[in-house]
Amino acid sequence: MSDKAELALNNEKDLAWEQLRSEADRDEDWQHSLTLWQSLCIYKTAVFWSIVASFCIVMEAYDTLLLGSLFALPAFKQHFGHNQGGTAGYQISAPWQAGLQQGANIGSFFGVFLGAILVDRFGYKWSIIGNLVVLAPIIALVTFAPNLGALLAGEILCGIPWGVFSTLAEAFASEICPQSLRGYLTVFVNMCWVLGHFIGAGVLRAANNIDGKWSYRMPFAVQWVWIPILLPFLIFAPDSPYWFVRKGKLDKAEKTVRRIAPAAEQSRVQEVVSSMVRTNHLEQEVSAGTSFLDCFKGVDRRRTEISCVVWTTQILCGLQFANYSTYFFQQAGLSTIYSFDMTIGLYGAAFIGTCLSWVLLTYFGRRRIWLTGLSCLVVGQILIGVLSVVADKGHEGARWAQAGLMIGWLFTYDMTVGPLAYAIVGETSSTRLRNKTVGLARASYNVFSVCFGVLMPYMLNPGKWNWAGKTGFFWAGIGFLCLVWAFFRLPELKNRSFLEADIMFARGVPARKFSTYVIEADADEVVRAQHAEASYAN
């Protein structure tokens, strides 16, 4: 190619890039100007598909509550447990309680990595559909398990597709909606967790009135219901436009944006895709690649740290305590039927708390809600521990107070830390590494969930440590350490686009300055040039 031809080609590329940047700037301004109601009107189709994908989480949440509560169901304990005599009666041993409760988490650990691999090749839509189909026969194994070994194997196998859902639903919701709706729809993933727990509590309450094996088989079999409901919808769902941009299929990205935002003007569609291309291009410049290893390199190391710690804080502040709520209430001295009733009340409060979290998201930043909520949770765990000490001295009212405080604790959790984790992880990760970063964060959650989940039966089981409510002191200490980390490391990304987040992370802006940091025009070009100079110097 001659020098003149090469110069003409470069000029043409520069003009094309300038046009793309101009379109992307207009989209940035438009996105910032949208009100919540305008976003809902324009992106109502995107909202619908995000909700459909998020409903896959309901099954995992349902099962998380299921086994912890089945340990309190008489028929389940009589079939799988042993009579310990005295007031303890039939009990599943602590090692089997730990193994069964964490079986799904073990499977989910592998599922999150499988999901990241599948989405790179097949996209979000077909990865979710494939795992829904695989899940159907595995549910039969847990429903008709003849012994604890078969039940554990089924739980581990179920955990694999659940792990896929837990990462892909979060990432899909983050990518398919505009920044004005992103926080609300990623938080909806937590709502699906609460719905799963609430449905599980209601089903188990009904199962308590059934005699024989079907009192615990029926709750397992209910998991089949979701598959025929979700599959017909998902077959017609769109895939993420960001996924098409990463694959270089800009025509399909445009087609998808027109589909998920049919109320947008046609000129806006091109601008939206241009914004995605610009963000993807900047991340290509400042990041080495899109592998799991790249999540721990350069700029993305900090983003991975924040995502992992935020998600594991859900466990570290004491969520495992709530997962054993029915068993805890029973060991605290409440009857079986009252224990199930209190669990229904517990997750009813959690549902209301998650709804209120949307209100908090509208008026307050993620960082403020997180720090305030986590502080309240630490104090709540201390109070649960104090009431347990009082109850041990014969004060019956303290047992009911413990149960009431547990409801208040979960209400606060699902108004702050629980749902906010999904919004923060969805906004913190870069678009090119999103499914990998979300996968690592979820894997970290699963590792801590398994570790502390193994300990929980020992803490609560009357045949082991028998800490009962004094377990609150343990969780309060760990929760306080998480609070200290958040104060120094958690950034504020409310009302920030993915491009703006990329620029601030690339510049190493301190966490406490994210909310007030001013990003100048052409900041992405400056960051790109600085990165190129640094790479050349090295």
Q: How many domains does the chain have?
A: 2
Of 531 and 459, the one with more pLDDT: 459
Residues 47 and 183 in one domain: yes
**Mean residue pLDDT across the chain:** 82
Residues 346 and 240 in one domain: no
Q: Tens of pLDDT along 240-272? A: 888 898 888 888 988 998 888 887 766 788 888
Q: For residue 90, list its beta bridge partners.
A: 83
Query: Which helix (DSSP H) or strand (DSSP E) does residue 506 occupy?
Result: helix 498-506
Q: Tens of pLDDT along 172-216? A: 888 888 888 888 888 888 888 888 877 877 887 777 777 777 877
* Poorest-pLDDT segment among 163-177, 300-314, 519-533: 519-533
Residues 350 and 229 in one domain: no
Tokens of 410: 């979960």
Residues 428 and 323 in one domain: yes
pLDDT at site 270: 84
Judge whether 340 lies within some domain: yes
Q: Tens of pLDDT along 420-471? A: 998 899 889 888 888 888 889 988 988 888 888 777 777 766 667 777 778 8
Judge whether 289 lies within some domain: no
pLDDT at site 9: 41
* Poorest-pLDDT segment among 207-211, 278-282, 323-327, 534-538: 534-538
Check pLDDT > 70 for residue 359: yes
In this prediction, residues 395-411 reach a mean pLDDT of 78
Question: Whole domain around residue 186: which residue ranges?
Answer: 31-79+92-262
Q: How many helices (H) and strands (E) does the chain have?
A: 24, 2
- Which of 262, 288, 322 is the C-terminal boundary of a domain? 262
Judge whether 307 lies within some domain: yes
143-147 contacts, C-beta under 8 A, 24 or more apart: 143/217, 143/220, 143/221, 144/217, 147/80
**Is the CB of residue 54 less than 8 Å from the CB of residue 169?**
yes
Judge whether 273 lies within some domain: no
In this prediction, residues 80-109 reach a mean pLDDT of 75
Residues 255 and 311 in one domain: no
pLDDT at site 11: 47
Question: The domain that contains 230 carries what CATH number?
Answer: 1.20.1250.20
- Which of 262, 277, 308 is the C-terminal boundary of a domain? 262
Check pLDDT > 50 for residue 116: yes
Band (pLDDT 50/70/90 cuts) for residue 14 is: low
Residues 175 and 306 in one domain: no
Of 332 and 94, the one with more pLDDT: 94
pLDDT at site 529: 67
- Which of 262, 285, 313 is the C-terminal boundary of a domain? 262
pLDDT at site 6: 46
Residues 258 and 397 in one domain: no
Tell me how far apart the alpha carbons of residues 91 and 94 are, in angstroms, rounded to a whole number.
Answer: 9
Residues 243 and 329 in one domain: no
Judge whether 118 lies within some domain: yes
306 Cβ neighbours under 8 A, 6+ residues apart: 424, 428, 489, 490, 491
Residues 304 and 232 in one domain: no
Judge whether 5 lies within some domain: no
pLDDT at site 308: 95
Residues 308 and 358 in one domain: yes
* Cβ count near 11 (within 10 Å): 10
Q: What percent of the chain has pLDDT over 90?
A: 19
> pTM to 2 decimals?
0.80
Judge whether 535 lies within some domain: no
Judge whether 272 lies within some domain: no
Residues 254 and 353 in one domain: no
Q: Say which DSSP state 43 is in.
A: S
Tell me how far apart the alpha carbons of residues 24 and 504 are, in angstroms, rounded to a whole number.
Answer: 18
Q: Tens of pLDDT along 45-68? A: 888 998 898 888 887 788 777 766
pLDDT at site 86: 63
What is the chain's Cα-based Rg?
Answer: 25
Band (pLDDT 50/70/90 cuts) for residue 369 is: very high
Residues 354 and 213 in one domain: no
